[in-house]
Every structure is written in C-alpha cells, then in structure tokens.
C-alpha cells in the first residue's frame, strides 16, 4: 500500500523555499550579524588586554595582533557579502529572452 503525502506551504515552512537565492536572503543577514558580534567581542577583548597589560610588550603585541585579525576578518566578510550581491545581480539577468 502506498500513501501519498502532500506538503502544504502554510503548515510546512521549508516548502516556501524555492531557490538557493531565498536561502541566501535568509542566511546572509544572520551571518553578517554574527560576524559583527564576533568582531565586537574580539575588539573589546583586545582593548581590555591593552588596558590591563600595558607594561608587557609581548601581551601588547598579542592584543594588537588580535585587533588586526578582527579587522581583516570583518573586511573579508564584507567583501564576500558584496561579491555575493554582485554575483546575484549579474545572474539575475535572463540569458534566454522569453
């Protein structure tokens, strides 16, 4: 015996997703928010280490390296977001006219 199962988009939210673009529209703002929060935590932690270990040159070098890493990571995340947005704008054009 075979049972058929119909998926209703109103009761099953995953059925509303029809393309990869919709998944990206959901995931990218969350990823950017997460990256911003990680940047904030790393920067505040490094600033706290600079305040606490101001007389230790090795700790200062480590804290400045942490700030540099946080800034570079944020730049990479923003650049990848812009690249995905550019790719989405380029691929949205119809290759075959209707």
- Could you tell me if residue 38 is inside a domain? yes
For residue 18, the model assigns a pLDDT of: 73
- DSSP assignment of 10-70 equals TT-GGGG--SHHHHHHHHHHHHHHHHHHHHHHHHHHHHHHHHHTTT-HHHHHHHHHHHHHH
Is residue 2 predicted with pLDDT exceeding 70?
A: no
- Could you tell me if residue 72 is inside a domain? yes
Average pLDDT over residues 58-87: 92
- Could you tell me if residue 16 is inside a domain? no
Average pLDDT over residues 12-31: 76
pLDDT band for 96, please (50, 70, 90 cuts): low
Taking CA atoms, 50 is separated from 6, 34, 36, 47, 60, in Å, by 60, 24, 21, 5, 6
Number of domains, the chain: 1
For residue 28, the model assigns a pLDDT of: 82
Is residue 46 predicted with pLDDT exceeding 70?
A: yes
- Could you tell me if residue 1 is inside a domain? no
Q: Which residue did the predictor score with more confidence, 30 or 97?
A: 30
Question: What is the domain range of residue 52?
Answer: 21-90
- Could you tell me if residue 76 is inside a domain? yes
At 93, is the secondary structure helix, strand, or coil? coil
d(CA 73, CA 43) in angstroms, rounded, equals: 12
């Amino acid at each position: 015996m075979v049972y058929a199962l119909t998926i209703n988009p109103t009761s099953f939210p995953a059925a509303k997703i029809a393309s990869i673009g919709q998944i990206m529209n959901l995931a990218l703002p969350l990823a950017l928010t997460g990256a911003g929060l990680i940047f904030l935590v790393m920067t505040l932690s490094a600033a706290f280490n600079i305040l606490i270990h101001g007389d230790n040159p090795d700790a200062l070098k480590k804290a400045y390296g942490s700030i540099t890493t946080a800034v570079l990571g944020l730049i990479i995340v923003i650049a990848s977001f812009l690249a995905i947005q550019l790719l989405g704008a380029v691929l949205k054009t119809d290759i075959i006219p209707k």
